[in-house]
Structure 1
Amino acid sequence: MPVSTRHCHLQALALSTLLLFSGLSLALDKPIGPAVLSISGLVTQPNMQQQAVFDMAMLQALPQRSFTTQTPWYAEPATFTGPLLRDVLDTAGAKGEGITAIALNDYRTEIPFSDAIKYDLIVAILMNGQPMPVREKGPLFLVYPFDSKAELQAATFYNRSAWQLRALQIK
Structure 2
Amino acid sequence: MLSYFRALALWTTLAILVAPTASAQSASVPTGEVVLTITGTVDKDPVVFDLAMLMELDATVIETATIWTEGKQVFQGVALDVLMDSIGVTQGTLLATAINDYTVEIPVSDAVAGGPIIAYKLNDATMSLRDKGPLWVVYPYDSSAAYRSEVIYSRSIWQLDRIEVVE
- Equivalent position of 1:154 in the other structure: 149
Distance 1:146-1:19 versus aligned 2 partners, 3 A rule? same
In the other structure, the counterpart of 1:28 is 27
1:130 is matched with 125
Q: 1:41 maps to what in 2?
A: 40
Give 5+ residue unaligned stretches, structure 2: 1-10
**CA RMSD between the two structures:** 2.2
User: Secondary structure at the residue paired with 2:112?
Assistant: helix
Give the 3 Å change call, closer, same or farther, for CA 38–148 of structure 1 in structure 2.
same
Residue-pair matches, total? 153
Mind listing any 5+ residue stretches in structure 1 that lack a counterpart? Answer: 1-12
- State the shift of 1:94 in Å: 2.5
Q: How does 1:14-93 map to 2 (within 5 A)?
A: 17=15, 20-21=18-19, 23=21, 26=24, 28-44=27-43, 50-93=45-88
> Which amino acid in the other structure matches residue 31 of structure 1?
P
Using the aligned pairs only, state the percent identity: 37
The 2-side partners of 1:94 and 1:79 are apart by 27
Per the TM alignment, residue 42 of structure 1 is displaced from its structure 2 partner at its CA by 2.8
SS of aligned partner of 1:105: coil
How far residue 25 of structure 1 moved from its aligned partner, in angstroms, is 8.4
TM-score by length of 1: 0.81
Letter in 2 for 1:40: T
Offset at 1:99? 0.6
Runs of 4+ with >6 A deviation: none
Residue 82 of structure 1: how far off its partner (Å)? 0.8
